[in-house]
A and B are shown apart, each in its own frame.
Chain A
Amino acid sequence: MSTIRFSKDHEYIRVEGDVGTVGITDYAQGQLGDVVFVDLPAVGKTVAAGGEAAVVESVKAASEVYAPVAGTVVAVNDALSANPGAVNESAMGDGWFLKLKIADRTELDGLMTEAQYAEYLKSIS
């Protein structure tokens, strides 16, 4: 059974066991425009909560992707180098960025639920 949480910077983390799949939300990909390149971290890298995990580039912008919680990178989505457009087409699915082995599960409590994120989007648009 998986749970999903969201950060204010429009990252999501889909948690299964102690591994979380991290990506940017559908809202974020819409804001960015066509994604042209994703700069992914090395497998094995440790990241702090809120630390820079990846960089996503569109034609007109480049954005840091921050780790929603602290952890160690256990996998990255290599398919994105040949097909960065997957981030636009399926941000919540095939357009995932990396998988994190979560260091401290309690950090998830500081993130938004799906309902809270939906409210948050209404408030900023």
Chain B
Amino acid sequence: MMNQQGRPTAAGAAAAAAHPTFTGNKALQQTEALLFEVGRAGTTGVDLPPVPKGATRLGGLARKGAIGLVGLSEPETMRHYVRLSQKNFGIDTGLFPLGSCTMKHNPRLNEKMARLPGFGDLHPLQPQSTVQGAIGLMEMLGHWLMTLTGMPAVALSPKAGAHGELAGMMAIKAAIAARGETATRTVVLVPESAHGTNPATAALIGFSVKAVPADADGNVHVDEVKKLLGPDVAAIMLTNPNTCGLFERQIVEIAAAMHAAGAYFYCDGANFNAIVGKARPGDLGIDAMHINLHKTFSTPHGGGGPGSGPVVLSDRLAAFAPVPFIRRDGETLALVEHTEGTGALGRMAAFHGQMGMFVRAMAYMLSHGADGLRQASEDAVLNANYIKAGLADLMSQPFGDKPCMHEALFDDEWLKGTGVTTLDFAKAMIDEGYHPMTMYFPLVVHGAMLIEPTESESKASLDLFIMALRDLAMAAKAGNTERFTGAPYHAPVRRMDETRAARTPVLKWSPPRAVAAE
């Protein structure tokens, strides 16, 4: 097998396997044991001044036994975590085409700004007169989010997208309660293609969920919604653009139908990156939409968090926004922290929201500006369609070959009879140096593969990705199953035994003697 430069690779791999190492390391790829296997109870990498002598005032509640922690010196700590980092794939490593996650470049200016002492070193409860600039930044962010979405109100405090969904749905529930309809409006409509957080959120606050079918086009049809609309319906939760990467063409009609029936429209804003500066969700008739700052607005994913999920609200819901919210009195800004005298639905989390992510998002938004944000959305959509054009003859699409928005959706129809599944295909992508695309989501598509390149990819990067996927697709169709079913071969570890992890969960390290005793 030849790689792109025309040099044989098979011989090299075989040669490497023929020379095993003593340490198990492979040059730069180093193994690293657990902290609890290399650390020591008596070691610390932090120097602290001596504890002044004196009586304690602990009320007899001093700790009696050891905690069970270990420590490392500073050089050992550095090595331990640097070695771990080398086993991770990040956006900075290569293309990360995770559909609906918007893995765009995380600018380092964001990090620099967030670490300014005037932002990073502020306590949420120090006197508000000493943090006017911080509240000013929150006000600025709110203004940008409301302007981009065309909505009159925003709640900044939710800590993540799903938390923002919760806030939005709680606002809807509060609005329904204010009309005295809590007992009757108990149903929320959710498409089968929706992200799992949608029905989970609705159920959490006591709604029952009714599924809305998608039509053969991948869209939700207003007639299907009207069939389910009745006085028992509180709201619909729609993702737009939807999880199939398509703009919901009838969204305006659906919003009108919901409002005519006295119900509300929650919009899942996970895919907002496709339409920033091109359309405003507020113009489409939505009542609430959460925004994922860690998707659309470039704050880093950090290996799973922290996120930030502000939620924009319509006039119908603005009065119910949770505390805290910002009140301006001339030159002075204040955070209103208590619900008395307001219609606020309550409080979503302690303090004021993910300020660290607000600063990062603001740095990104200021950098792009109105023109850059619009260009970014256009490039995101262009890149996804370019990939689709490059693969459409080899990979099947569930809703036919038509333009997509910022993500391209394929199903596994084209893999039928090859012995290769979507999962296998994804694992082979790892060997090629790519993070797999989103797999098996949305659930309504069999063996779904959802590819979202974002606007951060150059044309050269996209061209190589397309060629690599074409090579993989042709290999799968040609019956070269081993390349897929045993993949990945080149990652630090092979496929994991997830069954074993779930059947006999081991969720922390235990000292060897304790294990033997069980």
Contacts and interface: CB of A to CB of B under 8 A. Distances in A.
Are A and B in direct contact (Cβ within 8 Å)? yes
Interface of B is mostly: helix
B502 interface: yes
A34 interface: yes
Interface string A47-66: 00000000001011000000
Interface string B479-518: 0000000000000000000110011000000000000000
Contacts of A59: 498-499, 502
A7 to B, nearest CB: 21
A33 B421 CA distance: 14
Nearest to B504: A36
A84 B247 CA distance: 43
Interface in A14-39: 33-34, 36-37
A95 interface: no
Interface residues of B, number: 5
A68 interface: no
A37 B498 CA distance: 13
Contacts of B440: 60
Nearest to B498: A59
B506 to A, nearest CB: 14
B296 to A, nearest CB: 28
A61 to B, nearest CB: 10
A52 B502 CA distance: 23
B47 to A, nearest CB: 46
A85 B503 CA distance: 9
Interface string B124-153: 000000000000000000000000000000
A69 to B, nearest CB: 25
A86 to B, nearest CB: 11
Nearest to B423: A60
Contacts of A37: 502-503
Q: Residue among A33, A36, A60, A84 with the most chain B CB within 10 A?
A: A36
Contacts of B498: 34, 59
B11 to A, nearest CB: 37
Nearest to B440: A60
A36 B503 CA distance: 5
A36 B499 CA distance: 6
Nearest to B501: A59
17 contacts: A33-B499, A34-B498, A34-B499, A34-B503, A36-B499, A36-B502, A36-B503, A37-B502, A37-B503, A57-B502, A59-B498, A59-B499, A59-B502, A60-B440, A84-B503, A85-B499, A85-B503
The 4 closest A-B pairs by CB, nearest first: A36-B502, A34-B499, A59-B498, A36-B503
Interface of A: 33-34, 36-37, 57, 59-60, 84-85
Given A34-B499, A36-B503, A37-B503, 14 more contacts: A33-B499, A34-B498, A34-B503, A36-B499, A36-B502, A37-B502, A57-B502, A59-B498, A59-B499, A59-B502, A60-B440, A84-B503, A85-B499, A85-B503
